[in-house]
Structure 1
């Protein structure tokens, strides 16, 4: 006779401790993606009020406005910073909330001098600027959760000061695209629809001293799309760009050039005519057969890729290996190129670029004023 098997008292395995607002099973990239959408918007109906459809709609509206408080790229970067920090805390069994200056001091020390046994993706020491940006991202996320992080606390401030003193390096600036460079770059482009678009992007970006995000955010007219970052008005003497930048709205005047093949306004008119654009995003994706412009707005990453590719095709800085040449140039090369090439009073460049201070403008002027004033000779030597 078979004996009845007694049920075993199996103990439920303990769940993993949860040391932050994110489950351990999710990857850092998933966390960062989700945070970029939701983290800045810890906005809800007050507990004292009863919920309703109207209040729920107001909550969504308030969250939409909160998303616009910082640039999309900033939100994405801060989300990655927070995901990295929370992952670092989880691996050490530390609580993320409430903020601990002592813990954050250890974290930034780990970023500057990674542990030898850390995962391979974490072994690379971060630059001082990246550590400072991560600290800003962490502080921002704590603020969204109702906590204040005192970055002047000695556990953070003294460690960061030591990191700056030991590891700080001169800032690495991207190479400026000068006038002869931009002429060589546009000469590599064909005269098909894609070539017309890319030529207009390079010339408008250069003559306007624009960031790549500003270039692709432009619409044909005012209020054409919800995600518009500005619009353009073409006049007889040139074009006026109305831009929503980091410092607010500003107007940028782009005059007509001295030659038709290098005129940014003419290049833009050609693109708009053959792409048949009279409404919506100014710069768009193109169909695979290269015969029509699509409705989708172009990504700002295309601008960076375009600059790098045309720099290679034009043979700029050909004395260097290809990898070094690619690393030298980026979207900011157009902005720095205008500031370095335009031989006009500095205050006009400052206004054109939308800088709040002349000091910021001078950072963009690559070697423009070197030795223009020789104090050695002026001192009698």
Structure 2
């Protein structure tokens, strides 16, 4: 897409089903997830079902599928179509679906402003769009997107077009060449979260109030998250037992020698062993047993909201964002990385700080750390080992200098 080329934009055909003033999807609005998901194209197109128009009082969905003049899916297969939609939703996390829905709406808004069509997918239009993202002209606030954000937006377009039966060729020169140039010009080193090491974690635990249920819960979450190398969604997705809730992502089993955690993570189901600690004060299993006993939890979500000034336990599962807030709050209160300004310290800590802390501090064979974290490659595990292997091997001295 050189400067001498001119894109012959086609006038956009508007559809009454699209609310042109609809705001972009927000991560806080879980209710928009289902509305933003397109119909299951493989099933719909093969069986000949025409997508139904949304009700007038529903939130505006993404641009509809192109009209198809085929007979409706037989009524007796409606239940299977609904089940297939459930499986489509289960194929990706709710956070991914929210991001993809938001990106798709932003692309639709950009196309409307530029007067170009979204269908059929045009690699040259997409190439112009990612150029606008990189130059700060894709949104009204004129804020340039980072390379990682542009990569996600491109993935969102590819996914959404595929669900509508019209695949987008990311290898087309109008996309691939422009994306390569964006990476070369704008890519920056990844900003990884700071690893919480054992001494940091102990200091963070001391900032929690042991006399309240909230303090006991937070203590158990920090210790389980660190010792298990768990993601924040895995921590809050745990149930007390198997098959106890529909939204559960795993369960626990307390044994004599430790805790067995069964998880459904990004790489599928896995078992994580959390052994008992050398001291009750820092033992994740003891902390969890104390929380369960005093909170009187025997069934359902493991970690829940605490109300009434830390004295009452609700029935609802804790949001995974609370894990990130907990790590950041306690790390700042404990003075972790106190050598840095407070504004900078606040950006260093998040839920992944617990996972990287375990990977950086566990003095065991790397393959055991890889298994605990659920990584499919050793290279990914090494990315989490923030300080473990720095200068352990000194090639300068080994070379004779």
Which whole-Å CA distance do the structure 1 matches of 2:167 and 2:15 have between them? 19
Match of 1:107 in 2: 129
- Out of 294, 305, 330, the position equivalent to 2:314 is 294
- Secondary structure, aligned partner of 1:66: helix
Which whole-Å CA distance do the structure 1 matches of 2:363 and 2:278 have between them? 16
Residue 327 of structure 1 deviates from its aligned partner by 0.6
1:96-153 per-position Cα deviation (integer Å, ceiling 9, x unaligned): 11111001101111111124xx7652x1111111111110011000011111111010
1:40-90 per-position Cα deviation (integer Å, ceiling 9, x unaligned): 4513662356532x4222221111111000111111111111111111111
Q: Is the 8 A contact 1:272 1:278 kept in 2?
A: yes
RMSD: 2.0
Which whole-Å CA distance do the structure 1 matches of 2:243 and 2:114 have between them? 50
Residue 30 of structure 1 deviates from its aligned partner by 7.3
Structure 1 runs of 4+ with >4 Å offset: 30-35
Match of 2:111 in 1: 89
Distance 1:174 1:222, change over 3 A: same
1:316-360 per-position Cα deviation (integer Å, ceiling 9, x unaligned): 122323221111111110000000011111010001001000000
Which whole-Å CA distance do the structure 2 matches of 1:356 and 1:247 have between them? 8
Distance 1:136 1:34, change over 3 A: farther
- Out of 33, 36, 42, the position equivalent to 2:33 is 36
Distance 1:290 1:34, change over 3 A: closer
Unaligned segments of structure 2, at least 5 residues: 1-11, 49-70
1:228-284 per-position Cα deviation (integer Å, ceiling 9, x unaligned): 100000001100000000000000000001111110000000000001111100001
For normalisation by structure 2, the TM-score amounts to 0.86
Match of 1:280 in 2: 300
Q: Is the 8 A contact 1:207 1:338 kept in 2?
A: yes
Q: Is the 8 A contact 1:20 1:97 kept in 2?
A: no
- 1:51 maps to 2:71: no
- Secondary structure, aligned partner of 1:28: coil
- 1:152 maps to 2:175: no
- 1:185 maps to 2:204: yes
Q: Is the 8 A contact 1:221 1:233 kept in 2?
A: yes
For normalisation by structure 1, the TM-score amounts to 0.90
The number of residues matched between the two structures is 362
Match of 1:27 in 2: 23
Q: Is the 8 A contact 1:39 1:141 kept in 2?
A: no
Match of 1:166 in 2: 185
- Secondary structure, aligned partner of 2:226: helix
- Out of 348, 369, 374, the position equivalent to 1:349 is 369
